[in-house]
């Protein structure tokens, strides 16, 4: 069979590890299996044309909240164009309530639920024989004679038996390399699909080191660990951090999602020895409200996390990314503002405001009535409102999130933002709220704007807020000079501040 493993990534630099796992287990079969990754920015007609032209026997799509709507449209058209083609889906977006998905989408032939390495291998065996033993494929949902059948899933594999993603594939030099050293999560955050698996399955540390040695040898630009909580086991995390510090090639960057309150002084002392740029940490704080944290099954005391994030930032050698989630239970607009101010005060390198997504299969989806959660029907199933926050306030938070992205996360306003807070006697959330109101009332959101335009907009905001023109321009010019080269600053000032 001629089989394609494919998906639509959110950006070109991203890659899909699920496809690589499936490719490695299919490599020993006598099928003609290939991988091709598109992005959500590719036109649907282009992707459709490429799939039709290649004349595959089966196309397998890896499905997530960011690509499922596009995949549904492309796969439906593909089935119309080539009725004999088999279409197989997998991934978190179809692993829960997959039988409903199959009933609603008659172009679906197969859905692989959960981890797919063994199931995919077994499916290929069955199809090679006569296709009559589909009931022996674990976790398979399939269509036969207009009926939908659902096979039970098997117990998760010992992760050490799963082949290394790059055992038969080359690393892409121009993409982020995704890697997992463990599957599962010890925590039970109610909004997260990882809360469903009740245990952690980790690769042996020696195997992890061998895999990392390969990445260092290949001189990849970034390895992004997709472990849900990398440092759940302090000793194991310490050993891997130590290995990377001692074998640093001076180029690669390693990204980890960690739980800050699990960090010890021993680990912090080790991390202090890392080259600047070697590590990048993502830390999900989510809320500073104890009642909210209790409702989503997280530790209620936020202060150990904030304390350790400050310690990490004081090292000055690790890029720190922190997250909050808007729309969680018991968090009003005003309470969220307090969480925002506490997290902003850390001074992290990046501060992401996320919005609750009600994912199929998560505990919070089952509790949605309890909390009055209303969400959008289509992926990514983002919250509209709940019993504590209105739809209008959620829109306001969306506007504030855009301002946070423009004026904080993209950098270039390091002097202006604290200056404005001081002059306007405003807390961080209040300042971004004021900027957002000005920005949207002025209609500046209606088109994409170059970075230099954002300086002009912020100057106009400052003047409307009562700050003298020359003072606003002075501090903004300092930020301009720290962001752009001398020639670019000269061109900017020549053009002037008006927008």
pLDDT in tens, 12-42: 889 999 999 999 999 888 999 999 999 999 9
298-331 burial: b if 16+ Cβ within 10 Å, else e: beeebeebbebbeebbebeebbbbbbbbbbbbbb
**Under 8 Å CB-to-CB from 12, ≥6 apart: which residues?**
39, 41, 175
pLDDT digits (tens, 9 = 90+) for 43-60: 999 999 999 999 999 999
Q: What is the DSSP letter of 154?
A: P
The tokens describing 251, both together, are 């180029």
Q: Where are the alpha helices (DSSP H) in 222-289?
A: 234-246, 265-271
pLDDT score, position 194: 82
Cis peptide upstream of residue 380 (ω within 30 degrees of 0)? yes
Superfamily of chain region 2-150: Cobalamin-binding domain (3.40.50.280)
Residues 105/97, Cβ–Cβ less than 8 Å = no
Q: With contact defined as beta carbons under 8 Å apart, do 194 and 228 qualify? A: yes
The helix (run of H) or strand (run of E) holding residue 128 is helix 117-129
Largest CA distance in the chain: 80
Domain regions of the chain by residue span: 2-150, 170-389, 397-499
* Long-range contacts from 137-140, C-beta under 8 angstroms, 24+ separation: 139/112, 139/113, 139/114, 139/115, 140/110, 140/111, 140/112, 140/113
Burial of residue 163, with CB atoms counted within 10 A of its CB: 0-12 exposed, 13-18 middle, 19 or more buried: middle
Percent of the chain scoring above 70 in pLDDT? 100
Instruction: Specify the pLDDT at position 166.
Output: 93
Q: Among all chains, which residue has been given the structure tokens 């099928």?
A: 31
239 confidence band (pLDDT: 50, 70, 90)? very high
Q: Tokens 């269509």, residue?
A: 143
Q: Which residue has the higher pLDDT, 199 or 369?
A: 369
Distance CA 56, CA 39 (A): 20
Give percent above pLDDT 90 in the chain. 93
Weakest mean pLDDT among 67-71, 225-229, 277-281, 298-302? 298-302
Q: CA 204 to CA 304: how far, in whole Å? A: 30
Instruction: Please say whether the dihedral angle defined by the alpha carbons of residues 231, 236, 242 and 245, taken in this order, is positive or negative.
Output: negative
195-198 — which CB contacts under 8 Å span 24+ positions? 195/297, 195/362, 195/363, 196/361, 196/362, 197/156
Yes or no: say if 89 and 114 are a contact pair by the CB < 8 Å rule: no
- 143 pLDDT band (50/70/90 cuts)? very high
Measure Cα distances from 83 to 93, 107, 216, 255, 383 in Å: 24, 9, 45, 43, 37
Please state the rounded mean pLDDT for residues 346-352: 98
Whether the per-residue pLDDT at 131 is higher than 80: the answer is: no
Tell me: the pLDDT tens digits for 187-203? 999 999 887 777 899 99
Q: Write down the number of H helices and E strands in the chain.
A: 19, 17
CB atoms under 10 Å from CB of 254, counted, come to 25
**Beta-bridge partners for 321:** 282, 350
pLDDT of 298 strictly over 90: yes
For position 196, what pLDDT does the model report?
A: 75
Pair of tokens at residue 301 = 């005391």
Cα(481)–Cα(21) distance, integer angstroms: 47
Structure confidence by residue, pLDDT tens digits, 378-397: 999 999 999 999 999 999 99
3 state SS of 267: helix
- Burial classification of residue 489, based on how many CB atoms lie within 10 Å of its CB (0-12 exposed, 13-18 middle, 19 or more buried): middle
Per-residue pLDDT tens over the stretch 462-471: 999 999 999 9
Distance CA 465, CA 139 (A): 60
Q: Examine the pLDDT at 295 and tell me if it is beyond 90.
A: yes
CATH class of the domain comprising 170-389: alpha beta
Question: Can you give 366-430 as a three-state secondary structure string?
Answer: HCHHHHCCEECCCCCCEEEECCCCCHHHHHHHHHHHHHHHHHHHCCCCCCHHHHHHHHHCCCHHH
Look at residue 356 and tell me whether its pLDDT is greater than 90: yes
pLDDT (average), residues 431-448: 97
d(CA 364, CA 373): 9
């Amino acid at each position: 069979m001629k089989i394609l493993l494919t998906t639509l990534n959110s950006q070109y630099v991203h890659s899909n590890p699920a496809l690589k796992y499936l490719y490695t287990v299919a490599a020993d079969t006598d099928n003609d299996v290939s991988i091709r990754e598109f992005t959500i920015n590719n036109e649907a007609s282009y992707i459709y044309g490429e799939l039709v032209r290649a004349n595959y026997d089966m196309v397998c799509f890896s499905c997530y909240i960011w690509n499922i709507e596009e995949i549904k449209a492309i796969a439906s058209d593909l089935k119309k164009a080539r009725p004999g083609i088999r279409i197989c889906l997998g991934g978190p977006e179809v692993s829960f309530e997959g039988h409903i998905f199959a009933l609603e989408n008659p172009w679906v032939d197969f859905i692989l639920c959960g981890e797919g390495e063994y199931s995919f291998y077994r499916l290929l065996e069955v199809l090679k024989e006569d296709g009559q033993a589909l009931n022996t494929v674990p976790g398979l949902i399939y269509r036969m004679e207009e009926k939908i059948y659902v096979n039970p899933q098997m117990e998760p594999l010992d992760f050490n038996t799963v082949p290394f993603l790059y055992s038969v594939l080359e690393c892409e030099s121009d993409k982020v390399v995704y890697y997992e050293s463990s599957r599962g999560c010890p925590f039970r955050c109610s909004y997260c699909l990882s809360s469903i698996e009740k245990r952690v399955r980790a690769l042996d540390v020696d195997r992890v080191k061998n895999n990392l040695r390969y990445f260092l040898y290949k001189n990849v630009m970034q390895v992004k660990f997709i472990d849900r909580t990398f440092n759940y086991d302090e000793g194991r995390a310490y050993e891997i951090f130590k290995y990377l510090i001692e074998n640093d090639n001076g180029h690669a960057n390693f990204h980890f999602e960690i739980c800050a309150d699990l960090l010890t002084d021993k680990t912090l002392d080790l991390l202090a020895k890392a080259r600047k740029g070697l590590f990048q940490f993502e830390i999900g704080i989510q809320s500073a409200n104890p009642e909210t944290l209790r409702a989503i099954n997280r530790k209620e005391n936020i202060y150990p996390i904030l304390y350790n994030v400050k310690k990490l930032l004081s090292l000055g050698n690790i890029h720190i990314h922190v997250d909050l989630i808007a729309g969680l239970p018991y968090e009003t607009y005003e309470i969220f503002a307090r969480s925002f101010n506490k997290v902003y005060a850390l001074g992290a390198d990046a501060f992401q405001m996320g919005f609750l997504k009600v994912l199929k299969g998560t505990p919070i989806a089952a509790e949605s009535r309890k909390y009055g959660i209303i969400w959008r029907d289509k992926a990514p199933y983002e919250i509209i409102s709940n019993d504590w926050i209105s739809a209008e306030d959620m829109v306001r938070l969306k506007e504030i999130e855009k301002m946070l992205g423009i004026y904080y996360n993209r950098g270039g306003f390091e002097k202006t933002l604290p200056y404005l807070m001081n002059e306007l006697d405003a807390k961080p959330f209040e300042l971004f709220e004021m900027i957002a109101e000005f920005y949207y009332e002025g209609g500046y959101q209606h088109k994409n704007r170059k970075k230099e335009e954002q300086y002009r907009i912020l100057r106009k905001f400052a003047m409307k807020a009562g700050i003298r023109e020359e003072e606003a321009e002075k501090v903004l010019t300092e930020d301009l000079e720290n962001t752009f080269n001398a020639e670019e600053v000269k061109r900017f000032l020549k053009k002037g501040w008006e927008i």
